[in-house]
Amino acid sequence: MDVIKIARRAYAISWLSWLELSNWTNPLIFTIYVLIRPLFTLLLYAYIYVAFAISSGYSNPASAFYMVTGISFYNYIGSGIYGVAWVIHEEREHYRLLKYNYLAVPDLMFYLTSRGLIHYLIGLALSLVTLPIGLWLVSYDLSSLQVNLPLILINLILGYLWCTSLGIMVSAISLFSAEWGPLIAESTGGLLFLVGSVLFPAQSLPWWMQPLVNAIPMREWMELTRFALNPQYPIRADFLLQMEVIKTSLYLLCSFVFFKIMDKLVRMKGYLEATTEH
């Protein structure tokens, strides 16, 4: 395996991804554009919490920490999944270049993985910017944070792997639909928000949603992130980490097999270059 060649390809694809994201404006406006939505989302939830605390005369720092960390770090996963799952639609429908990229790279999965990289980096930057702002807004005692950097890094890598695998599976489905691609990509982000213990514990969801909660490693990822920021956070970190590793491995395997099958099927059906022509 030629690692340098792979790295060059990944760099070129990420560079393209960056250009597609940012080509329309200058860096300052782009930064404002990227920051504005996550910041306003954070402000909205933070002020709901503050208003509730003022009106009830009761504040709960643990809940505030839960909410702010959830909203901040969801940026990483939300941006990443969208960055991967949106590619098929964008390349096929908008740029009409899917077939040329398909022919040029040894594997379309590698292309999707590399296209997502820059989205994860932007998502991570957003997480790191919004976290201190959010904690400050809810008056959380920052001295209680004890960042476990190795765990954060391991968790970020695991998050990248399972989330990209999920994105690849979603992309494999959107290969079959020119019309539903954007909906599928956006809904997956919404699903992760819902079942991933972002704003509330996933266990509080109805029983019929629990299989879905357990099937997606988002909950483990989110809880481990909180634990990596504050070791007092009450979870069984070892167990959750094991579960995340097992689920990530399964996701990697499933996405590989699933994408290969769908890749063959889509060429059988003749949908690889299908566009809506609107």
Partner 1 sequence: MYSIETIELSRTFKRNKGRLIYALRDVNIKVRKGEIFGLLGPNGAGKTTLIRILATLLLPTSGKAYVLGYDVVGEANKVREVINVVSGGERSGYGIMTVKENLWYFTQLYGLSRRDGWRKVRELIELLGMEDFADIRLNRLSTGMIQKYNLARGLINDPKVLFLDEPTLGLDVEVAKYIRRLIRKLIKEDPERTIFLTTHYMAEAEELCDRIAIIHKGRIVALGSPEQLKKMICDELVYKLEVKGIYSKLGERLKEAGFSKAVSSKSDITTGLTSLRMVLSSEEEAEEVVKWLIGSGYKVISISKVEPSLEDVFLKLVGGKLSEE
Cβ proximity to partner 1: between 179 and 273 the closer is 273
Binding flag, residue 179, partner 1 (CB under 8 A): no
Q: What radius of gyration do the chain's Cα atoms show?
A: 20
Binding flag, residue 260, partner 1 (CB under 8 A): no
Q: How many CB atoms lie within 10 A of CB 65?
A: 22
Site for partner 1 in 68-107 (CB under 8 A): 95-97, 99-106
Cβ proximity to partner 1: between 236 and 267 the closer is 267
Binding flag, residue 23, partner 1 (CB under 8 A): yes
Residues 149 and 55: their CA atoms lie apart, in Å, by 37
Q: From the list 13, 137, 163, 222, which residue makes contact with partner 1 (rule: CB under 8 A)?
A: 13
Residues 73 and 82: their CA atoms lie apart, in Å, by 15
Cβ proximity to partner 1: between 33 and 40 the closer is 33
Cβ proximity to partner 1: between 101 and 197 the closer is 101
Give phi and psi for 107, each to the nearest 5: -150, 130
Cα distances from 162 to residues 134, 194, 220, in angstroms, run 27, 17, 11
**Is the CB of residue 98 less than 8 Å from the CB of residue 272?**
yes
Residues near partner 1 (CB under 8 A): 2, 5, 8-9, 11-13, 15-16, 19-20, 23, 95-97, 99-106, 264, 267-268, 270, 272-273
